[in-house]
């Protein structure tokens, strides 16, 4: 899952980026409101975390511009302002959630997962399942037919994206946009290499393949007869 972080405080941003990467998210970071708006309007994100007090353009104006441009990316407003009026204003402007600084990192992660779950209409906030393949998002563990599968963080993120789009063909570009950050080389074969490693762990030890290649288009994860 790919997250946009707009935060001008380097210490706070570094803390969030490090933590979210450890959780398997791809992160794009903007230090000011205008850069954040440019990214929000040009790149596909699964969620955004936006501070209010920003140089160049404040966070509420940024969110308002996103919504007026038709960008529906779920947004968590991050702010040191915690009054009822501030929270109401943040939500009325277009924010989907509001988190007051200082905050517990685990709460931020839980709220991000909740926003993505609502946006993707997943029924269970903590578990994804396709056939015998099960992903526990809280414990960050993957099982197939009861067998524990050990995945590297990027493999986990790639499989999570495929499972959230189960039955839907996703292109290499879509995968790179959601699993890697925006500094990727479009000519790289990193997706093919990761898919190959994922198949070695998720499919090859079992009787039926779940990850299928759609030649010239991309990949789909689904259970076939």
- Identify the pLDDT of residue 121: 67
Reported as a pLDDT band with limits 50, 70 and 90, residue 114 is confident
Domain boundaries in the chain? Answer: 2-120, 127-221
User: For the residues 148-152, what does the mean pLDDT come to?
Assistant: 94
Contact 32, 166 (CB under 8 A): no
Q: Is the pTM of this model over 0.85?
A: no
User: For the residues 105-113, what does the mean pLDDT come to?
Assistant: 89
pLDDT > 60? residue 56: yes
Residue predicted with more confidence, 24 or 63: 63
CATH assignment, 127-221: 1.10.10.10
Query: What digits encode the pLDDT tens for the residues 154-213?
Result: 899 999 999 989 999 998 888 887 887 656 566 778 899 999 999 999 999 999 999 999
- Identify the pLDDT of residue 125: 62
Q: How many CB atoms lie within 10 A of CB 169?
A: 15
Average pLDDT of the chain is 90
Q: Which fold has domain 2-120?
A: Rossmann fold (3.40.50)
Q: pLDDT over 70 for what percent of the chain?
A: 95
User: For the residues 11-30, what does the mean pLDDT come to?
Assistant: 89
pLDDT > 70? residue 124: no
Least confident residue range of 23-27, 109-113, 191-195: 23-27
Task: Tell me the range of 59-68, 85-94, 135-144 where mean pLDDT is highest.
Answer: 59-68
- Asked if 2-120 and 127-221 have one fold, the answer is no
Structure tokens at 71: 């960008």
Query: What digits encode the pLDDT tens for the residues 180-193?
Result: 765 656 677 889 99
How would you write the chain as a 3-class SS string? CEEEEECCCHHHHHHHHHHHHHCCCEEEEECCHHHHHHHHHHCCCCEEEEECCCCCCCHHHHHHHHHHCCCCCCEEEEECCCCHHHHHHHHHHCCCEEEECCCCHHHHHHHHHHHHHHHHCCCCCCEEEECCEEEECCCCEEEECCEEECCCHHHHHHHHHHHHCCCCCECHHHHHHHHCCCCCCCCCCHHHHHHHHHHHHHCCCCCCCCEEEECCCEEEECCCC
pLDDT > 90? residue 76: yes
Contact 24, 140 (CB under 8 A): yes
Reported as a pLDDT band with limits 50, 70 and 90, residue 66 is very high
């Amino acid at each position: 899952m790919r997250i946009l972080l707009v935060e001008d405080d380097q210490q706070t941003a570094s803390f969030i980026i490090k933590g979210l990467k450890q959780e398997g998210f791809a992160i794009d970071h903007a230090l000011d409101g205008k850069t954040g708006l440019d990214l929000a309007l040009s790149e596909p994100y699964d969620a955004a975390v936006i501070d209010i007090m920003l140089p160049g353009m404040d966070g509420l104006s940024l969110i308002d511009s996103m919504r007026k441009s038709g960008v529906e990316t779920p947004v968590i407003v991050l702010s040191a302002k915690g009054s009822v009026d501030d929270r109401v204003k943040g939500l009325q402007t277009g924010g989907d959630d509001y988190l007051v600084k200082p905050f517990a990192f685990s709460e931020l992660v839980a709220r991000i997962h909740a926003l993505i779950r609502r946006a993707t209409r997943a029924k269970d906030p903590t578990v994804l399942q396709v056939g015998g393949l099960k992903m526990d998002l809280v414990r960050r563990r993957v099982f197939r037919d009861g067998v524990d599968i050990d995945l590297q963080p990027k493999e986990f993120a790639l499989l999570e994206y495929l499972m959230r789009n189960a039955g839907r063909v996703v292109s290499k570009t879509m995968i790179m946009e959601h699993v890697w950050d925006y500094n990727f080389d479009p000519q790289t074969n990193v997706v093919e290499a990761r898919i190959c490693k994922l198949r070695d762990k998720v499919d090859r030890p079992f009787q039926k393949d779940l990850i299928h290649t759609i030649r010239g288009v991309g990949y789909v994860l689904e259970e076939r007869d």
